[in-house]
Amino acid sequence: MNGEIAAILAMDGIASGAIYVLIGLGLVLIFAVTRVIFVPFGDIAAFTALSLASLETGGRPGTVGLVAVLAVLATAVEAIALARNRAFHRLPRALLFYLVLPLIPAAAVWFAAGTTLSMPLRIVLSLALVLPIAPLLDRIVFRPIADASVLLLLTVAVALHFALSGLGLMFFGPEGVRTKPLTDAVFDVAGLIVNGQMLLILAASIVFCGLLFLYFEFTIQGKALRATAVNRVGARLVGIRPTSTGTIAYLLASLLAGISGVLIAPVTTIFYDSGFLLGLKAFVGAIIGAMVSYPVTALGAVMVGLLESFTSFWLSAYKEVLVFSLLIPVLLWRSLSFAGTEEEEAEE
């Protein structure tokens, strides 16, 4: 290995790490606010890529049907809950949020199918299409069991992942897709060839990390999210509604997943089940951040990307093994330095 190869590998590793950063941050965000380890999170990224690809070929993405079904289900669940509490005056609002808003992008895509759209419009549409999936799933699946233990929530999330990837197979078919590159630009930096796509991934990752930081530091909503993450009961006492912070967390995280899906689709082939491994690797990053720290998660995710890149050079057959083995020392170190704070929280 010489310096040039090392530089190329490092660049490649940082690029794939940047994708893991986006997904990892989303995972941590959802976990911190709702205590759900949202396993199907990678699927959201894959669905965005698949939707984008079918828009590109002029098809009608299967996500439209998925969103419609979920919206109807969520509205029904919400309506029943409201009827039980005899809070009928809140029904119009529920209809707006659970039925009308999610269906707007779905309807737009439904009618746009077959026409050729410009690239930015396609990206915006597929993002808008995928955004409601996680919040709707939250309303249907997780909110009724919001106070259950972390373990139960995790089990449900795993089951949800299998359901989603099954639906993915139904809607998108078994073949993989690859979208057109977002940019064809190629730069020559000190003798190294850097393609524009890679820079775009890096830039997006940095920009969204920055935005997330600003959001948490300087907006009331962001602070409410942080408060819920620190202490749910305390947040409720000061007038923050955990259900709405949960929805915001899911929306924000879905946006991150969607962006990473859009970024990754031109770089590799995405299958209906590609999301799981993406999510799993981001999860390793999130574990390094102990599922609470955003900066450490980002660092961990980049580390996973780098490790992956260098092991693919040295020992490609054992790449996956080595990446996931990273969990063992990290978990050991984590469990030695913190003595089970999450367990206590779960038992409250």
Partner 1 sequence: MKNSIFAAVLAASLGAATAAQAEITVGFITSQSGPGSSIGVLYDRGMKAALEYASSVGAEKIKFIQLDDGSDPSAATRNARKLVEENKVDLLIGTSTAASTSAMVPIANELKVPMIAISPISVAANDAGDRWAIVMPQPPTLMVKVVVDRMKRDGVKQFAYIGFSDAWGDLVYNGAQKPAEADGLKMLTNERYARTDTSVTGQVLKMMAAKPDAVLLGGAATQGALPALALTERGYKGPLYGTPALLNTDFIRVGGKSVEGVQVSAGPVIVAEQLPDSHFSKKISMDFRAAYQKANGTPTSDGFSAYSFDAWLVFLDAAKRAMATGAKPGTPEFRVALKNAIFSTKDLVGTHAIYNYKPSDSYGVDERSLVMVRLVNGQWKFEP
Q: Please give the residue ranges that form the binding site for partner 1 (CB under 8 A).
A: 5, 8-9, 12, 15-16, 19, 169, 173-176, 178, 193, 195, 264, 267-269, 271, 273-274, 276-278, 309-314, 316-317, 319-320
Nearer to partner 1, 47 or 310 (CB): 310
Neighbours of 280 (CB within 10 A): 18
Instruction: Supply angle C-alpha 179, 26, 338, rounded to 5.
Output: 140
Longest dimension (CA), the chain: 71
**Closest Cα partner for 134 from 106, 182, 176, 102?**
102
CB of 178 to partner 1, least distance (A): 5
CB of 166 to partner 1, least distance (A): 9
CA–CA separation, 154 and 151 (whole Å): 5
CB of 5 to partner 1, least distance (A): 5
Question: Which residues does residue 270 pair with via DSSP β-bridges, in sequence order?
Answer: 177
CB of 15 to partner 1, least distance (A): 8
Nearer to partner 1, 15 or 127 (CB): 15
Strand 186-189 with 192-195, pairing: antiparallel
CB of 270 to partner 1, least distance (A): 9
Nearer to partner 1, 11 or 141 (CB): 11
Residue 266: alpha-carbon gap to chain centroid: 18
Nearer to partner 1, 105 or 275 (CB): 275
3-state secondary structure of 194: strand
Nearer to partner 1, 63 or 311 (CB): 311
The DSSP element (H or E) to which 187 belongs, if any, is: strand 186-189
**Closest Cα partner for 143 from 240, 244, 43, 230?**
244
**What amino acid is encoded at 274 in this protein?**
S
Nearer to partner 1, 252 or 323 (CB): 323
CB of 74 to partner 1, least distance (A): 28
**Tokens 């396993």 correspond to what residue?**
39
Nearer to partner 1, 1 or 190 (CB): 1
Nearer to partner 1, 32 or 177 (CB): 177
CA–CA separation, 1 and 144 (whole Å): 55
The separation between the first and the last C-alpha atoms of the chain, rounded to the nearest angstrom, is 53
CB of 252 to partner 1, least distance (A): 23
CB of 305 to partner 1, least distance (A): 9
| Torsions phi, psi for 59 (to 5 deg) | -90, 180
